[in-house]
Structure 1
């Protein structure tokens, strides 16, 4: 019991103020006077305080006087786009060699069942590896974590291109997954480092799109390479693509981890510096530099062996457990649709592997649009609720979320997206059941990509809002839950299709997806209360540790 409490104190950083010390802010920062809207909400909350609801008191909400990030807008865009590109590698590597499975089985003289085990092992490592790398990245910084991941990834792909045995294929696929899978968690961490809660939705949209474009483009690229150059060309292509990402990263990508560089004004240790960091310095006043340095706990820079327990601690929290479960169910529905396409489209429409790969493109296009549209809606809804409560939204200044209903601001967007996604899955299943024209299911895939990506982006953004100081670790918790549930979903989809039929199978999946809205209602209702309880436990732990010192 004592160990779990200590773990929570260390890991579950206060999900309230993302920069600045609250006690220092009370002494140094001007307090916003409550407006009429705030007073009204506070009055209403007093009436709800006895019924288990979330007690919101916006009049106590403050905006930091220190810049949240000293990075320019263009530099922010660069780091987010680079992080999004990095997050593209994990799902791309998972899907890109699908068209060559039969050829691989023949060349290595093994059964398709054994080749399929490399898919299962890839997904398992896809869930496990970020648990370790996420914790390491939150402590040591993003750059060292990225360099470790891509070194492993490039080495594994070179080995895969040269190997001639099933054992080597199996082991190297695990290494390939371990190297690439953490990039999604790191991408979310980068967004949390450079963006305030008011602008985070737009940035998270790009990161989510990168991770969802892989399943759409992977089969197409893999089919083209395997058909014209052979299956080894797939892995050489991944080596070249990863190197094209890594070279500019080494030269230009700045360290963003807030435990290492604060808001970007604190010089990082040598191993965290990019080459360009030696050639230029950032401009910031000495007063702002001192203010930011005072927010960095020296203990946060102390490195330790990557610990998976912080990720598990996040999974077990009341609000995040419901949030992660709802997101994992939606992802499982996505995996079911994606996994069913090859066999059904081949059987019903007599398509080749390359043609089947092209059928994933509408989903990718929908995902790309969702990355732009949904992010704008998230930022708009945050500003709308902040305005209703009379709270200022200042560019590049972080707002203390202690008394702000961030759960409501984010999840309001998710309800229509989940409902539409569920309806589209039902329509998709019955189109396949009656083998209607191919244009119908592919059009549905476009809108499904639009809605599903929007719901994923909404949950991912809220998760980072709740754990801004451990964003990579929090995203790793999201990754492990959705990968494990997704692995189970892909394992049972074929038996379900056989026993239930296409129409009723996808109808059942859709109703399971729709059930996640009940979890989101609970989070909106009780999430602020649970979040405040977690903050109090954390602050009490700080006081207790300070007393022991």
Structure 2
């Protein structure tokens, strides 16, 4: 299936400088959720001691946080579609600050869980709406590169958080990390308030359609028919009624949405196979005991994410441009997914299997260096998959981009929540190497799903029309 490119005028509302500022603001806000998710990892044992519980129970707060991220994405999406991007940012980011402050002051594991979940609910908004904001301002041939920057920032959060959290836990307290998250949330809120305009395309918000309906109807005094008056009132009320948070899940009726969302979820899950057990596997294996040094082990993963972001974004845009050139200006949405194939097929399985083998069989500095290289390759591979997939969904569902990102991010969060809770029991039951072989199989399944979409996306999208509009004004032939 090929699609025609539509008018680019909606993307010319902002200058290049404004677009860069918007991308920077969204990236700053987007880093909060993943950063906060991983901030506990190096200091789980210290938190357990202070709150008089076990490391396993504290580790469950990571899963609860990630699960709340998934739920929050679905809740915020319909409001961002109806009222616009900017209002939901301004409402959600203060919740991050309140939740972080509550976590800082927690005196029991229950209080900590409540604070963390409120924090996650607020942070979840940017994860879904942020990618849609990028899609609002960048046209097709530029969108992948900008999305790569956004996802590079998001995926740098999980590796950066353990380093900062470990340093603060070592020299101060884990509570200071939560205070830093509160300050980060406040900074993001102020940046949005001062620098971020509304980016939704004119006339596309639900509230715009309500206003248009009201403007184009005659006044009630001029309406002779009471039935006509009632019809207009019902139409307006239908637009402003309670917004169903689970409406976005209807996008899974489109097979390609489910395939690529699951593929990206499996890819991101592999990072949690590295991150969650690191303090219980790599650290004791190579004599790393300080939370600060444990956190430093995540830095290669963050560097890999940054490299992967630059590669994936540019390669996906080039794939689109090349595809258009060969078709005389027409394009196939699946061209963008070609950039994601190497990540799922090569980088992720290779890094997982080598990491598991090294932990079991190679000692000393050599083993540690190989493990850190594997963390770098995994970080690169994850971003090479996630960025093109997110951009692809915004391409094919432009008028429903927030909903597309909501189900995409919710799917990722649910998979990662399960992985966070399951990885340590799996290692205890099946051993280190077999656990990482299993994770490599998940990566290969992700590759298979991407390959199916790449090869048969044309047919799959014809099964069910869920409003495929990859660019303003486009339609599927």
Q: Which TM-score tier does this pair reach, normalised by the shorter chain?
A: 0.7 to 0.9
User: CA 1:505–1:170 in structure 2 vs 1: closer, same or farther (change >3 Å)?
Assistant: closer
Q: What is the CA deviation profile of residues 343-386 of structure 1, one whole-angstrom value per residue up to 9, with x for unaligned ones?
A: 11222011122111101000101111221222111111111110
Residue of structure 1 equivalent to 2:345:
419
Contact 1:259 1:301 in 2 (8 A): no
User: CA 1:107–1:340 in structure 2 vs 1: closer, same or farther (change >3 Å)?
Assistant: closer
Residue of structure 2 equivalent to 1:308:
245
Contact 2:279 2:294 in 1 (8 A): yes
Q: Distance in 1 between matches of 2:31 and 2:389?
A: 19
Residue of structure 2 equivalent to 1:152:
95
Question: How far is the alpha carbon of 1:479 from its aligned partner?
Answer: 1.5
Contact 1:255 1:261 in 2 (8 A): no
Contact 1:139 1:300 in 2 (8 A): no
Larger CA deviation: 131-140 vs 310-319: 310-319
Contact 1:105 1:115 in 2 (8 A): yes
Residue of structure 2 equivalent to 1:18:
none
Residue of structure 1 equivalent to 2:257:
320
Contact 2:254 2:465 in 1 (8 A): no
Is 2:193 the counterpart of 1:250? yes
Question: How far is the alpha carbon of 1:509 from its aligned partner?
Answer: 1.9
Larger CA deviation: 68-77 vs 508-517: 508-517
Question: How far is the alpha carbon of 1:199 from its aligned partner?
Answer: 0.9
Which structure is higher in helix share?
2
Contact 2:353 2:436 in 1 (8 A): yes
Contact 2:62 2:417 in 1 (8 A): no
Is 2:270 the counterpart of 1:333? yes
Q: Number of residue pairs matched?
A: 437
Question: How far is the alpha carbon of 1:255 from its aligned partner?
Answer: 0.7
Is 2:24 the counterpart of 1:81? yes
Is 2:159 the counterpart of 1:219? no
User: CA 1:140–1:303 in structure 2 vs 1: closer, same or farther (change >3 Å)?
Assistant: farther
Q: Distance in 1 between matches of 2:199 and 2:383?
A: 26
TM-score, structure 1 as length reference: 0.75
Is 2:320 the counterpart of 1:379? no
Q: Distance in 2 between matches of 1:88 and 1:355?
A: 22
User: CA 1:177–1:518 in structure 2 vs 1: closer, same or farther (change >3 Å)?
Assistant: same
Q: Is the partner of 1:110 in helix, strand or coil?
A: coil
Unaligned runs of 5+ in 1: 1-54, 270-297, 392-402, 540-549
Residue of structure 2 equivalent to 1:291:
none
Is 2:273 the counterpart of 1:346? no
Q: Distance in 1 between matches of 2:9 and 2:67?
A: 42
1:17-32 counterparts in 2 under 5 A? none
Q: What is the CA deviation profile of residues 74-112 of structure 1, one whole-angstrom value per residue up to 9, with x for unaligned ones?
A: 111111111111110001111113333333323333333
User: CA 1:430–1:300 in structure 2 vs 1: closer, same or farther (change >3 Å)?
Assistant: farther
1:512-531 counterparts in 2 under 5 A? 512-531=442-461
TM-score, structure 2 as length reference: 0.85
Question: How far is the alpha carbon of 1:342 from its aligned partner?
Answer: 1.6
What is the RMSD computed on CA atoms of the aligned residues?
2.5
Unaligned runs of 5+ in 2: 212-234, 470-477
Contact 1:258 1:469 in 2 (8 A): no
1:204-243 counterparts in 2 under 5 A? 204-243=147-186
Residue of structure 1 equivalent to 2:400:
470
Equivalent of 1:179 in 114, 122, 127: 122
